[in-house]
Amino acid sequence: MTRRTRLALVVACVTVVLCTAASLWVWRAYVGPGPLTEFRAVVIPKGAGVARIADLLAARGVIADRRVFMAGARLSGVAKRLRAGEFAFPAHASAADVARHLAFGQPVMRRVTIAEGLTSAQALALVAQAEGLEGAAPPAEEGAILPETYLYTWGDSRPDMVARMQKAMADVLASLWPQRAPDVVVTSPREALILASIIEKETAIGAERPTISAVFQNRLRSGMKLQSDPTVLYALTNGKGALERRLTHADLDTASPYNTYVAAGLPPGPIGNPGRASIEAALHPATSDALYFVADGTGGHVFARTLDEHNRNVARWRRLQP
């Protein structure tokens, strides 16, 4: 073996040793504890490649070395599987853990809650404000959105979210309508939705809903006007928001088909988005011959069969007012 050959072998061996040592260092850095000291979420934008992702993670303090992350992700075969979205990482997550989570883990689940009784305008405003959703929220008919908590991930679309909410309401109506009590006054799922929206606005106490439903259905049977204050509020605001004052006697004369003090029967449409419990109450009223109710001063209501009894209840309630 010549001197030149021996030298070439030595160089080759040294190169192999150095490369192996470098690979071992990179791998240990890749699988070792990361720099995070607390739980942190990071949004990975759509279309970001491994280099852009490494830059974002390094800037947010999730990984210590972008080159180590890129090399480790490529060596482990996950570099092409890294996904866009919002992902949360625990303290001291290794670069390997971070890469695996981006490739196979669950993204952060966000939520938007639509409370019972909100109008569609109010519900759509919440969807518009929900961080991480994309696109503009499309319009939705009053009463078409089911109040509920909806989960989503960063990058989901607002049109899809609104469509989910509308489908949820349609599904609830479709499932509850065939189970309605045989003697209910409402003659269609839409009428049930309209009545449920009024019940929803009249009380937040679940146990009262069937009795309030009975009062309104008794009134409809007897030809009495519903005389529901929430319908006046809707007539005044057109469902755009809250009325920043108390109702007046003059308000009760507001000319609107939604004002059940002046218009007989049900309003032409819902006055908000009722929850499932209020829809069930509209379809399953309590057995009651009450025709009136008024607040009892404790958050609930007191019911009456006759106008004289009701007037006494109203007088008692007014004495409780500040």
Predicted confidence (pLDDT) per residue in 252-307, tens digit: 999 999 999 999 999 999 999 999 999 999 999 999 999 999 888 888 898 999 99
- Quickly list DSSP for 197-234: HHHHHH-S-GGGHHHHHHHHHHHHHHT-----HHHHHH
User: Do 119 and 82 sit in the same domain of this protein?
Assistant: no
User: Do 161 and 185 sit in the same domain of this protein?
Assistant: no
Say how many Å lie between the first and final Cα of the chain, rounded: 109
User: Do 155 and 201 sit in the same domain of this protein?
Assistant: no
CA-to-CA distance for 189 and 191, rounded, in angstroms?
5
Residue 16 lies in a domain: no
- pLDDT score recorded for residue 66: 92
Q: For 69-78, what is the mean pLDDT?
A: 92
The residue among 119, 142, 171 that closes a domain is 171
The residue among 52, 85, 104 that closes a domain is 104
- Spatial CB neighbours of 313, under 8 Å, sequence gap ≥ 6: 292, 294, 296, 302, 304
**Among residues of the chain, what percentage have pLDDT more than 90?**
77
CA-to-CA distance for 35 and 14, rounded, in angstroms?
32
Cβ neighbours of 17 (radius 10 Å):
10
Domains identified in the chain, total number: 3
- pLDDT score recorded for residue 2: 62
CA-to-CA distance for 262 and 58, rounded, in angstroms?
66
C-alpha distances in Å from residue 309, one per residue of 19, 50, 102, 167, 316: 94, 75, 67, 44, 11
pLDDT tens, 157-180? 999 999 999 999 999 999 999 999
Residue 20 lies in a domain: no
Residue 3 lies in a domain: no
Helix (H, G, I), strand (E, B) or coil at 10: helix
C-alpha distances in Å from residue 305, one per residue of 112, 280, 283, 309: 42, 23, 21, 7
The residue among 104, 133, 161 that closes a domain is 104
Q: For 89-101, what is the mean pLDDT?
A: 95
**Among residues of the chain, what percentage have pLDDT more than 70?**
91
Q: Which residue's structure tokens are 């009495």?
A: 224
Cβ neighbours of 39 (radius 10 Å):
10
User: Do 167 and 187 sit in the same domain of this protein?
Assistant: no
Q: Is the pTM of this model over 0.75?
A: yes
Is the pLDDT reported for residue 1 higher than 70? Answer: no
pLDDT tens, 107-124? 999 999 999 999 999 999
Per the structure, the complete domain to which residue 70 belongs is given by 30-104
pLDDT tens, 11-62? 334 343 334 444 555 668 788 899 999 999 999 999 999 999 999 999 999 9
User: Do 289 and 245 sit in the same domain of this protein?
Assistant: yes
- Quickly list DSSP for 21-76: HHHHHHHHHHHS--S--S-EEEEEPTT--HHHHHHHHHHTTS-S-HHHHHHHHHHH
